[in-house]
């Protein structure tokens, strides 16, 4: 998920620092300066210089990597994640300043940008191809004259904006600054659920990020252009009308934004689908849809019948197919806005192919028979196969034993990412722990005491104090060092 960030780093020194941090975080051994320099392909003098620069970038690096004489030690007791260390380096790169401003609609000439980010025109022009290459993945181009600007569909720009925001991750200061977005989200969800009980299960952190993006674009009057083609017209339902009414009321209440175009309501509704989790707590499966087809369930159930070729739990088959159908139905609706919603990170795709090759290949083969609903196109079948293979992997026959300690996972991200990280963490958790997961907004001090939670593992900003139990924060894609630190702390219990 951090690939967007890494690809926008252009400074060779910064790239060396990032490689150094990842190398140290992914090793279990005490290494000499010569070993590290040789593995990274740099001289010992350069390595010493880079370690000194890390100290300047981030004071917390002292608690993360220690140098004793000629030995480098990765501190397994550090409370900092890889992402928190990297962010101090990455956020200072010029292309991040530029991209952030472009997403907010700031438009200046190249000459003006050179003055704003303290670069020569020659250097900036050398960096711009890196940005152009990244933008092409989002179906966007970069206008160079008379001013720099993002060119493409508004939906694709918003998708990039969300990717950019979510990969960076919210920090404590961001959460406080966006308090109104939090209040808006919680009242929005409560109002909708009061009308339709048990129909919507969202990842709160992800949903708040989406509404943050929507608010930024709406506030600057960047609306989705109206689609004139009849084939693109959305068939709305009563459920959408309720959503639209609540959304309109709360946008007025919290942000004084009125007279939103109809298309903006549709966009807010459909992008909410990107926050639906298909394996919610306690086995409850819910979804939110614009339309429903009476023969939809049977159609997809038949296609994804693997027989006995994959050891799926037959006692959970109804729940599993409900889950698969909800995912494909919602994906169809999302893809009508932009097919980019079908995309996954490179890391997730590699994980699915390597960890569940049989399920992945079976899903990929089945997808050749699938025609998405609502005239949506299957543009990225390998990415969709990753989602499905991780989803099906959660329904493999469970042979775990009863445990006597309870770990609560509070993981934010799209559905397949949640399943991926849970699978990774379970491999590092000792066998005497009972593992469950829950959305962040449900975690309160009362909940922790009532459920007898011993440990909370999370990958976002924790909104409530977690006194009385051990809390461990992990990166979106934890390095070996982080996982070893996690295992060590659990064994100490």
Is the residue at 331 inside a domain? yes
Of the candidate ranges 19-28, 114-123, 168-177, 419-428, the one whose mean pLDDT is the lowest: 168-177
**Whether residue 377 sits in one domain with residue 287:** yes
pLDDT band at 289 (very low <50, low <70, confident <90, very high): low
**Whether residue 369 sits in one domain with residue 288:** yes
**Whether residue 233 sits in one domain with residue 202:** yes
Is the residue at 328 inside a domain? yes
According to the model, what pLDDT value does residue 111 have?
92
Pairing of strands 141-143, 71-74: unpaired
Q: The domain that contains 128 carries what CATH number?
A: 1.10.10
According to the model, what pLDDT value does residue 231 have?
46
Of the candidate ranges 109-113, 195-199, 364-368, the one whose mean pLDDT is the lowest: 195-199
According to the model, what pLDDT value does residue 339 have?
92
According to the model, what pLDDT value does residue 253 have?
92
**Whether residue 367 sits in one domain with residue 300:** yes
Average pLDDT of the residues in 103-129: 89
Average pLDDT of the residues in 206-222: 82
Q: Are 458 and 413 in contact (CB under 8 A)?
A: no
pLDDT over threshold 50, residue 94: yes
Long-range contacts of 170-178 (CB under 8 A, 24+ apart): 170/205, 170/209, 170/460, 170/461, 171/87, 171/461, 172/461, 174/461, 175/461, 175/463, 178/208, 178/212
Which residues make Cβ contacts (< 8 Å) with residue 49, sequence separation at least 6? none
SS3 content of the chain, % helix, strand, coil (to 5): 60, 10, 35
Q: In what order do the strands lie in the sheet with 405-410?
A: 433-437, 405-410, 455-458, 470-473
User: What percentage of the chain has pLDDT greater than the value 70?
Assistant: 77
According to the model, what pLDDT value does residue 357 have?
92
Q: Are 264 and 218 in contact (CB under 8 A)?
A: yes
pLDDT over threshold 90, residue 100: no
According to the model, what pLDDT value does residue 249 have?
92
- Tally the domains of the chain: 5
According to the model, what pLDDT value does residue 230 have?
40
The helix or strand, by DSSP H or E, that contains position 144, with its residue range, turns out to be: none
DSSP string, 210-228: HHHHHHHHHHTT--PPPP-
**Whether residue 288 sits in one domain with residue 268:** no
pLDDT band at 283 (very low <50, low <70, confident <90, very high): very low
Cα–Cα distance, 362 to 22 (Å, whole number): 33
Of the candidate ranges 164-168, 235-239, 249-253, the one whose mean pLDDT is the lowest: 235-239
According to the model, what pLDDT value does residue 77 have?
56
Q: Please state, rounded to an integer, the average pLDDT across all residues of the chain.
A: 78
């Amino acid at each position: 998920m951090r690939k967007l960030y890494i690809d926008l780093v252009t400074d060779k020194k910064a790239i060396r620092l990032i490689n150094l941090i990842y190398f140290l975080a992914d090793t279990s051994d005490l290494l000499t300066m010569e070993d590290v320099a040789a593995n990274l392909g740099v001289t010992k003098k350069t390595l010493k210089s880079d370690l000194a620069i890390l100290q300047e970038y981030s004071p917390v690096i002292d608690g993360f990597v220690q140098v004793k004489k000629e030995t480098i030690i990765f501190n397994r007791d550090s409370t900092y994640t890889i992402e928190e260390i990297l962010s101090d380096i990455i956020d200072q790169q010029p292309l991040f300043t530029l991209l952030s401003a472009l997403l907010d609609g700031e438009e200046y000439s190249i000459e003006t940008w050179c003055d704003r980010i303290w670069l020569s025109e020659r250097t900036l022009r050398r960096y711009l191809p890196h940005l152009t290459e990244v933008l092409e993945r989002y179906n966007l181009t970069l206008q160079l004259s008379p001013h720099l600007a993002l060119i493409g569909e508004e939906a694709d720009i918003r998708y990039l904006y969300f990717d950019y925001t979510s990969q960076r991750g919210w920090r404590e200061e961001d959460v406080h600054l966006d308090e109104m977005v939090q209040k808006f989200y919680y009242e929005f969800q409560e109002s909708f659920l009061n009308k339709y009980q048990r129909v919507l299960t969202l990842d709160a952190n992800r949903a708040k990020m989406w509404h943050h993006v929507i608010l930024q674009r709406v506030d600057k009057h960047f609306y989705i252009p109206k689609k004139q083609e009849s084939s693109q017209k959305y068939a709305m339902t009563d459920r959408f009308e309720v959503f639209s009414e609540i959304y309109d009321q709360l946008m007025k209440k919290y942000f004084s934004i009125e007279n939103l175009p109809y298309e903006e309501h549709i966009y807010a509704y459909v992008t909410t689908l990107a926050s639906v989790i298909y394996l919610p707590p306690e086995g409850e499966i819910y979804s939110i849809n614009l339309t429903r087809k009476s023969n939809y369930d049977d159609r997809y159930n038949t296609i994804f019948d693997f027989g006995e070729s994959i050891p799926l739990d037959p006692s959970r088959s109804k729940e599993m197919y409900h889950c698969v159908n909800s995912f494909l139905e919602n994906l169809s609706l999302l893809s009508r806005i932009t097919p980019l919603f079908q995309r996954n990170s490179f890391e997730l795709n590699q994980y699915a192919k390597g960890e569940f090759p049989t399920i992945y290949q079976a899903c990929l083969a089945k997808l050749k028979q699938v025609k998405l609903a609502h005239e949506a196109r299957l543009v990225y079948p390998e990415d969709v196969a990753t989602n499905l293979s991780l989803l099906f992997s959660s329904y493999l026959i469970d042979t775990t034993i009863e445990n006597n300690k309870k770990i609560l996972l509070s993981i934010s991200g799209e559905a397949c990412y949640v399943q991926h990280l849970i699978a990774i963490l379970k491999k590092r958790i000792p066998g005497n722990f009972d593992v469950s997961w829950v959305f962040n907004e449900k975690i309160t001090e009362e909940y922790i005491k009532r459920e007898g939670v011993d440990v909370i593992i999370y990958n976002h900003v924790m909104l409530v104090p977690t006194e009385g139990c051990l809390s461990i924060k992990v990166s979106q894609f934890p390095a070996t060092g982080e996982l070893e630190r996690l295992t060590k702390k659990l064994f100490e219990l």
